[in-house]
């Protein structure tokens, strides 16, 4: 498999605080790689190192086969676009004027392509509207347009949907999927909104306290996630007696609902509950969410 980014025992410390601790991960070409972890897990530190904003305390990383410290790495970084934390934009300029400044900064020979970029991120109709009057979602999309100005094939985004309203989140999701699927741009994305990340990512890296806990594809996650059914019943106490008699693992969700795990014979379940005088009102199959898998992976510790 070809990788756009790999890290080998990458470490970063600030005094006694270890932000990254011998982190080794692999971002496949063409993937949407989701960094999963609570605040302080090391996601932003990793992004800042890869973008060249900070230097490692130990270990190395490789971009397109060029190792950190290599003299050719800065040339390779031209293939990388990034939005780290808050997009850096000129508030008193229009979207088009911001892109022209970015083109000049990158030394691009002409402004050709700006109209296409504005259309791509859904800002082609903003005209003379100043960025200070943009919504947060519009600013985020402008930040991505600026990151795409040099036609990179690797995009790094730090919390791109943070603070967005539901409509803004949907627009951002559609944009990122389009960039990945139609323009073949590899994306490394950090987000603590795990439900949204699960709609985007093809691969995951689970971080905790600067360490990589697990790395897997979306397919592997789906295969390893626990299957369950959620049942709504007339008597939750009777349900508990019936499930205990069958030796099934379960979690009580409310005074009428429970999740039952593992392979379950619905016929056996109905018969067992009938003996307890318990009626099933509703039953539906469900898979473990990314968030619940993450919590299980970290042993149920207190995470954001």
Burial of 275 (0-12, 13-18, 19+ CB in 10 A): exposed
So what's the pLDDT on residue 49? 95
Based on the domain organization, do 215 and 170 belong to the same domain?
yes
Is 303 within a domain?
no
- Residue-level length of the chain: 304
Based on the domain organization, do 240 and 194 belong to the same domain?
no
So what's the pLDDT on residue 118? 95
Q: pLDDT tens, 107-117?
A: 988 998 999 99
Residue-number span of the structural domain to which 279 is assigned: 226-287
Based on the domain organization, do 172 and 251 belong to the same domain?
no
The tally of CA atoms less than 13 A away on the side-chain side of residue 237 is 0
Q: What stretches in the chain show pLDDT beneath 70?
A: 287-288, 299-304
So what's the pLDDT on residue 265? 87
Is 231 within a domain?
yes
Q: Among 223, 246, 272, which residue terminates a domain?
A: 223
Q: Among 175, 208, 223, which residue terminates a domain?
A: 223
Dihedral sign, CA of 163, 165, 168, 172? positive
Is 250 within a domain?
yes
Based on the domain organization, do 197 and 230 belong to the same domain?
no
- Please say whether the beta carbons of 175 and 141 come within 8 A: yes
Is 301 within a domain?
no
So what's the pLDDT on residue 128? 93
So what's the pLDDT on residue 194? 86
Question: How many domains in the chain?
Answer: 2
Closest CA to 209 of 61, 7, 12: 12
Based on the domain organization, do 231 and 212 belong to the same domain?
no
Based on the domain organization, do 189 and 234 belong to the same domain?
no
Q: pLDDT tens, 144-187?
A: 999 999 899 999 999 998 888 889 899 999 999 999 999 999 99
Based on the domain organization, do 21 and 68 belong to the same domain?
yes
Based on the domain organization, do 126 and 257 belong to the same domain?
no
**The tokens of 87 are what?**
């997009």
Q: How far apart are CA 128 and CA 114, in angstroms?
A: 15
Helix axes 136-147, 95-106, angle to 10 degrees: 20
Based on the domain organization, do 144 and 23 belong to the same domain?
yes
User: What CATH number is given to the structural domain containing 76?
Assistant: 3.40.50.300
Is 300 within a domain?
no
Is 232 within a domain?
yes
Q: Among 176, 197, 223, which residue terminates a domain?
A: 223
Based on the domain organization, do 163 and 202 belong to the same domain?
yes
Based on the domain organization, do 283 and 168 belong to the same domain?
no
So what's the pLDDT on residue 299? 64
Based on the domain organization, do 204 and 240 belong to the same domain?
no
């Amino acid at each position: 498999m070809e990788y756009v980014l790999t890290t080998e025992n990458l470490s970063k410390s600030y005094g006694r605080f270890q932000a990254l601790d011998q982190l080794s991960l692999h971002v496949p070409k063409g993937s949407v790689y989701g960094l999963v972890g609570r605040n302080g897990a090391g996601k932003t530190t990793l992004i800042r190192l890869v973008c060249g904003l900070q230097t490692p305390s130990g270990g190395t990383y490789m971009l397109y086969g060029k190792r950190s410290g290599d003299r050719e790495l800065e040339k390779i970084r031209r293939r990388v676009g990034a939005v780290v934390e808050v997009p850096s934009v000129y508030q008193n300029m229009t979207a088009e004027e911001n892109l022209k400044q970015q083109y000049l900064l990158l030394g691009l020979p002409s402004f050709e392509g700006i109209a296409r970029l504005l259309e791509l991120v859904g800002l082609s109709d903003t005209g003379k509207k100043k960025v200070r009057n943009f919504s947060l979602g519009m600013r985020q999309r402008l930040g991505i347009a600026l990151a795409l100005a040099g036609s990179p094939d690797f995009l790094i985004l730090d919390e791109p949907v943070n603070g967005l309203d539901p409509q803004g989140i949907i627009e951002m999701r559609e944009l990122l999927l389009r960039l990945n699927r139609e323009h073949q741009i590899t994306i490394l994305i950090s987000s603590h909104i795990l439900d949204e990340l699960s709609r985007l990512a093809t691969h995951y890296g689970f971080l905790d306290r600067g360490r990589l806990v697990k790395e897997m594809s979306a397919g592997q996650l789906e295969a390893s996630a626990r299957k369950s059914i959620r049942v709504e019943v007339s008597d939750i106490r009777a349900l508990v007696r019936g499930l205990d008699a069958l030796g099934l693992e379960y979690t009580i969700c409310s005074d009428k609902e429970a999740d039952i795990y593992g392979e379950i014979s619905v016929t056996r379940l109905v018969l067992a509950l009938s003996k307890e005088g318990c009626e099933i009102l509703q039953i539906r199959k469900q898979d473990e969410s990314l968030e619940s898998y993450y919590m299980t992976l970290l042993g149920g510790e207190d995470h954001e």
